[in-house]
Structure 1
Amino acid sequence: MKKTVPALCASGLAMLALAGCNNGSSGDSPNEPVASNPNILFVIMDDVGIDQMKIFGYGGEMWPILPNINAVAQAGVRFRNTWSMPECSPGRAAMFVGQYPLRTGINQAIGPQDLATSQLSPYSVTAPKLLKRAGYESAMFGKFHLGGPENNEAENSTPSVLGWDYFYGWIGGLPGSNDKTVGGYDKAGTRMCGFIPGERLAGGAKSGACYQADGSCTVMTRTSLDQDVAGVQCIASGGLLVPNETCGEMPSYLDFNIQNAYYVSPLVIIENGATEIVALSDPRARGYRTSIETDAAINWINSRPDDKPWMATVSYSAAHTPWQQPPKKLVPLAPSGVSPLDELSCTSDGERGALDQRIIQDRMTEALDTEFGRLLVETGMAKYNKDGSLDYNPQATNTVIVIVGDNGSLAAAVKLPFDPSRAKGTAYQTGVWDPLIIAGPQVVQPDREVDHMVNMVDLFQFFGELAGLDAHKEVPHTIDSVGILPYLTDPGQGSLRTINFTMGGLNQQANGGRNGPCVMSTACTVIPTSKSVCEDNQGIYWGAGYDDASVIPTNPPGAGYATCADVNEARYKADPQQSQLTLVPESSVAIRNEHYKLVVNTSVDYDPTTDGPKEFSSEELYTVNQAAPVPLLDTADRNLLPTTDPELEAIRKDLRDKLNAMLASNPPCPGDGNLDGVVNAADLNNWRQIAQDWGLSSVYDFPTPQYADGKTDSKDEAVILANLNKACARTYTLR
């Protein structure tokens, strides 16, 4: 299925957007490329916080083993004090537009119910749009998760509208759940890892008939424990295994249209203005995701002309849940004494469940490292030594390599001494402290560390610096970036930031909706975007469809609960009464200076004293640092508040004042949908086109009076008319 992207340029969606359709006001017409402009390889790891990276001095454990990333880190600069946002979509948006969530509206991972106002705007100046002004071509491979396909006029073509010339990956971003039926073979759905296990486990098989979607078949078997079991061999090849059988007529029950975590995924390819939605039965959509992402990047990079600079974003899905075993060939350094990959549990149940999952997650990160090394070698950026180690010389190519994590680690994967109770989804250190590695010919005195504060929004300006562009002058609206190129060229460079900032919260859904509550152990959260995501993270979904009469029934059955406050109310009123759950904050923001960090958490919970919902807020102050191997973290026992110390109170007040100023630095500008800072005829024209051609969620769906309704209609026109000719000042951002 193909959709031609240029047709979108006729609609209001891209009418004045700084997107793929050239426009006199967009300013993104390419200049002649500058010969010295470096290529940019941008690698994003998913849910890999700094606690996973022993090269930064932390982890407390041997694994994961990452020799290829380490080789690049030792040839470049390691930034040891970098914050992102608490979740993936706001963290990634920060990198690509240089703005905090308070400006993008992307406060948490984008889900299928989130409106266009909580997705990257088609009028945003993204990194590929910025670089296009210096003659760059841009491509992305792997996870997108910045907008669409739901509630977005561009749907699966969103990467093109946001400026990428080429895309090969997954728009929604998250891998599907493990296919416990393995393509329909196991109708009871008992294959928790999404493949037929080996003969050493109950119900496993040493061999079987591996069928492909075209009806072809190969008998696969495992002859040694060094090999993958036949079930993994088969799904890695794109097939479905019928265990203990030889090839014959393909069974009619085999279904090649079921997603299977990292092995069957909804691939989208955008090239030359056309969007292709690849069927799940297509061989291109089948195979191990990390390898598919790497192969696509290699092919595109190797096809680039020598006289045109490029930026390739390899946005790996790993090591996000669902945790699923990679092919063994990608983890050659797996330590001895650890259970073979195919024998590890994919659930947290049982004596070894949680430990097995942590091992699988480590192996997935190691597989990412293996494929990253192959990416460098097969594009000529590095070579292998005789012992298999990576020989990377940043002076040998005109390419800058940037490696980051998008947010902190998931609680179940956190490495000590970091705090798993304050991990991904919170503004605490374990949730937002991420690895950042930069290597390239610009680096003076490689293999060094920078302890100064850096934020992922700074990457946007850094990409501009590499292309000779001043992002603050090029972008017509406020960006929060600080240039970090001086850290590469001057080993003595002092701190370029006085504060660091991070925030997470709720995205905007129609009429004030939100994600359903997900109960994980003794906590309740609305971070998971759906029931399946909740369950993939070992949670119990209490939203629509919940009906566990053995715990607390709903009336009517299956109605579920809308919020975590509702869950706690039901538990409080249950007979017998049940303990109240801790709420993962609905809003979590933090600001820090060189030594102190202020965290403010807010949630709405059930209050038994008033028998209703009540907003609860906490303010916490900590000393933090980057000491290795045991840093000062913002753990519950180290909160300095409340305090009677006047010096600490002065520090708290200073940080709180700066936090308030930051949160107030993006005043509303009702009617200005195209981010140009003025409500005028262009907004009316844009609204008219969108209302006529689409009519659903867009950046011209304004809250009236409180919530957006997911429609672009006459109510939104009234907002524009009421504010016509009003200008919105470009706001100041504290850095």
Structure 2
Amino acid sequence: MRRLAAGISALALAVGAVGASAQDRPVDGFLAATKRVAPNREPIIDHPKDRAAAAAALNSAKARFGHAPNIVMILMDDVGWGDMGAFGGGVAVGSPTPNLDRLAATGLRLTSAYSQPSCTPTRASILTGRLPVRTGLLKPYLPGENNEAAGLNGETTLAQLLKQAGYTTQAVGKWHLGGAPSSQPQNVGFDQYYGILTSSDDYTAWREQWRNPDLVNDPDRRAWAADGEIMGIVSGTPGITATLAFPIDLDSVRYVDEKLTDHATKFIASRKNEKNPFFLYFATRGAHFDNYPHPQFAGKSPGRYPYKDTIVELDHRVGQVVEALKQSDQLENTIIMIASDNGPMAETFPDMGTTPFRSAKGSIYEGGVRTPMIVSWPGMIAPGRVSDGLFDLMDVFATSLSLAGRADLIPTDRYIDSIDQTGFLLAPEGQTARRVEYYWATNVFMGARVGEFKYLVRDQSTESDDSWPRSSPFSASFTSPIYGGKMFDLYIDPKEEHALAPLKQPQIPVLKNAINAHLATFKNYPPKVPLR
């Protein structure tokens, strides 16, 4: 035994002497220790070297450009993880995305970025840094609901805080966070808004003969449906109610993303010689069902389906935004973050997005919440980086305030789920500061991911004999707590087809401990809606 012990000690010394030290090796998220930067903040994996590298780079950029970086967040709608060429799609699935692929090649591609299962919850989490169960924004508003919804009432938004930090704030595109005047973008922190207050199909579905003939053919019902929302792009500035700027019908809807992009690029051009930074939140109409691509793109994609045409159009629109930054000499001091608000909508098959993962929009399986994400900042983010480190779209909140040099503005009177990922994004070999990804379906806690392991305490059922279509992730129901839970190794089983809980008994307590710590935060910081 003494010889064995001596041999092990010698081997340990030899291994320690060869190659990188333990401090230089990538941190194993499964084993990583975490710490809280404040009692109301999500625990982080601390990477001091990454933080120092990011701070040095930001100081250098500020000295060069005279102010903090511009921040552009482009949020697409219902775009699948596998739609872009940079994520294995593009030409291979009938929708080439050269502009997005170029941004990915010159920046950082995040393969484990996460949204919420659907649109309104994701948008709320980005702008508040908080889980939907904390804000009460659990699911998308239905047609007619959004018009009077209070939405972000009582929440502090990223736009408000960046405005305090000296930023000019502009919102363009889809909102879907409440249409009541007090909840409109221009009244919750944005200096100006131009966009659609609700979801794309709210403007078109009631007009489609095949879908709603009772509304189309009956004048009284048609008038009732038309009165449900402001049927068009609206525009507004602080203190007023947004007014109609461009009516939307089954013909004009084809031009919505063109109009939005034109407004965004004009805003960018107007900022050329300004001495303060800007925050542009640009949420596209596409590719939410039903898709009506611009005539320039209709039928032109190799896939020839409206969705595929729309992806090609969105790629073009992103290219226009990048070109506007370049032409106004602002690209080198602008960080661009691009993602989708959730997975593809399965119920519109065959005209839907692509994901290699299980399920789709509405589901807590990876196909519903794993989003493609690209982060680009020329000269600041090393080109060609790819990382599977965890990044939740909520992290945009704390990260943006850190980029602005005003992390001190992050609220202390409520729980903040967002994590500052500046070091992850900017350090040459930055590592994620997020150890745990949590899965929620409305106010039902479903599970967590730590490292490559995903542990579910509840399941979702998407099959229903009396529903159309029969399989509907968006209409999924929840099961009772699962005895023993479900464990998936996402590296060997990314489609989540083989639950391994009986074989992974040693790993399960690690995830259970993370889950218990997370659920404990709701005791000191009660959510706006009760947990189920």
Check conservation: 1:331, 1:366, Cα contact below 8 A: no
Q: Partner of 2:244 in structure 1?
A: 278
**Do the aligned partners of residues 663 and 588 (structure 1) sit closer, same or farther apart at CA in structure 2, a change above 3 Å counting?**
closer
Q: Does structure 1 residue 406 correspond to structure 2 residue 333?
A: no
Structure 2: how far apart are the matches of 1:116 and 1:475?
Answer: 31
AA of the residue aligned to 1:294: T
Structure 2 residue aligned with 1:657, among 488, 513, 517?
Answer: 513
Deviation at 1:281?
5.2
Q: Partner of 1:616 in structure 2?
A: 480
Aligned residue-pair number: 440
Q: Partner of 2:322 in structure 1?
A: 376
Q: Partner of 2:446 in structure 1?
A: 589
AA of the residue aligned to 2:233: L
Structure 1: how far apart are the matches of 2:276 and 2:198?
Answer: 30
Q: Partner of 1:85 in structure 2?
A: 116
Deviation at 1:400?
1.3
AA of the residue aligned to 2:514: K
Q: Partner of 1:501 in structure 2?
A: 438
Structure 1: how far apart are the matches of 2:334 and 2:479?
Answer: 50
Q: Identify unmatched segments of 5+ residues in structure 1.
A: 1-32, 183-188, 193-254, 340-358, 384-393, 507-586, 607-612, 626-630, 676-698, 708-735
Cα shift readout 1:151-188 (whole Å, capped 9, x = no counterpart): xxx35x52233211111111123333547868xxxxxx
Check conservation: 1:37, 1:309, Cα contact below 8 A: yes
Give the alignment's TM-score, normalised by structure 1.
0.53
Q: Does structure 1 residue 490 correspond to structure 2 residue 427?
A: yes
Greater RCO (Cα-Cα under 8 Å, separation 6 or more):
2
Check conservation: 2:84, 2:100, Cα contact below 8 A: no
Check conservation: 1:461, 1:481, Cα contact below 8 A: yes
Pairs within 5 Å for 1:301-700:
301-304=268-271, 306-327=274-295, 329-330=296-297, 334-335=301-302, 359-377=305-323, 379-381=324-326, 396-411=331-346, 412=349, 413-415=352-354, 417-419=356-358, 422-441=359-378, 443-470=380-407, 473-505=410-442, 587=444, 589-599=446-456, 600-601=458-459, 616-618=480-482, 619-625=485-491, 632-635=493-496, 637-641=497-501, 643=502, 645=503, 648-667=504-523
Pairs within 5 Å for 1:163-312:
163-176=189-202, 178=204, 189=209, 265-271=231-237, 273-278=239-244, 288-304=255-271, 306-312=274-280
Check conservation: 1:265, 1:285, Cα contact below 8 A: no
Deviation at 1:655?
1.5
Check conservation: 1:165, 1:271, Cα contact below 8 A: yes
Cα shift readout 1:182-223 (whole Å, capped 9, x = no counterpart): 8xxxxxx3699xxxxxxxxxxxxxxxxxxxxxxxxxxxxxxx
Deviation at 1:332?
9.1
Q: Partner of 2:47 in structure 1?
A: none
Q: Does structure 1 residue 145 correspond to structure 2 residue 145?
A: no
Deviation at 1:286?
6.4
Deviation at 1:92?
1.3
Q: Secondary structure at 1:375's aligned position in 2?
A: helix
Q: Secondary structure at 1:381's aligned position in 2?
A: helix
Structure 1: how far apart are the matches of 2:462 and 2:306?
Answer: 35
Structure 1: how far apart are the matches of 2:199 and 2:335?
Answer: 25
Q: Partner of 2:218 in structure 1?
A: none
Deviation at 1:374?
2.0
Moved more, 496-505 or 360-369: 496-505
Check conservation: 2:187, 2:238, Cα contact below 8 A: no
Cα shift readout 1:101-138 (whole Å, capped 9, x = no counterpart): 22112222233687999964333221111111210011
Check conservation: 1:265, 1:286, Cα contact below 8 A: no
Structure 2: how far apart are the matches of 1:602 and 1:657?
Answer: 23
Q: Identify unmatched segments of 5+ residues in structure 2.
A: 1-62, 213-221, 465-476
**Do the aligned partners of residues 116 and 314 (structure 1) sit closer, same or farther apart at CA in structure 2, a change above 3 Å counting?**
closer
Cα shift readout 1:416-454 (whole Å, capped 9, x = no counterpart): 6433xx211111111111111111146242121122111
**Do the aligned partners of residues 279 and 57 (structure 1) sit closer, same or farther apart at CA in structure 2, a change above 3 Å counting?**
closer
Check conservation: 2:69, 2:333, Cα contact below 8 A: yes
AA of the residue aligned to 2:282: V
Structure 2: how far apart are the matches of 1:84 and 1:595?
Answer: 17
Q: Secondary structure at 1:124's aligned position in 2?
A: coil
Q: Partner of 1:531 in structure 2?
A: none
**Do the aligned partners of residues 650 and 147 (structure 1) sit closer, same or farther apart at CA in structure 2, a change above 3 Å counting?**
farther
Deviation at 1:468?
0.5
Check conservation: 1:95, 1:457, Cα contact below 8 A: yes
Cα shift readout 1:545-573 (whole Å, capped 9, x = no counterpart): xxxxxxxxxxxxxxxxxxxxxxxxxxxxx
Check conservation: 1:106, 1:118, Cα contact below 8 A: no
Structure 2: how far apart are the matches of 1:457 and 1:180?
Answer: 33
**Do the aligned partners of residues 106 and 381 (structure 1) sit closer, same or farther apart at CA in structure 2, a change above 3 Å counting?**
same
Computing the radius of gyration over CA atoms, which structure comes out larger, 1 or 2? 1
Q: Partner of 1:67 in structure 2?
A: 98
Q: Secondary structure at 2:139's aligned position in 1?
A: coil
Deviation at 1:663?
3.0
Deviation at 1:293?
1.0
Check conservation: 2:77, 2:286, Cα contact below 8 A: yes
Give the alignment's TM-score, normalised by structure 2.
0.72
Structure in which a larger fraction of residues adopt helix: 2
Structure 2: how far apart are the matches of 1:92 and 1:451?
Answer: 23
Structure 1: how far apart are the matches of 2:301 and 2:245?
Answer: 34
Structure 2: how far apart are the matches of 1:318 and 1:86?
Answer: 17
Q: Identical aligned pairs, as a percentage?
A: 26
Pairs within 5 Å for 1:75-114:
75-111=106-142
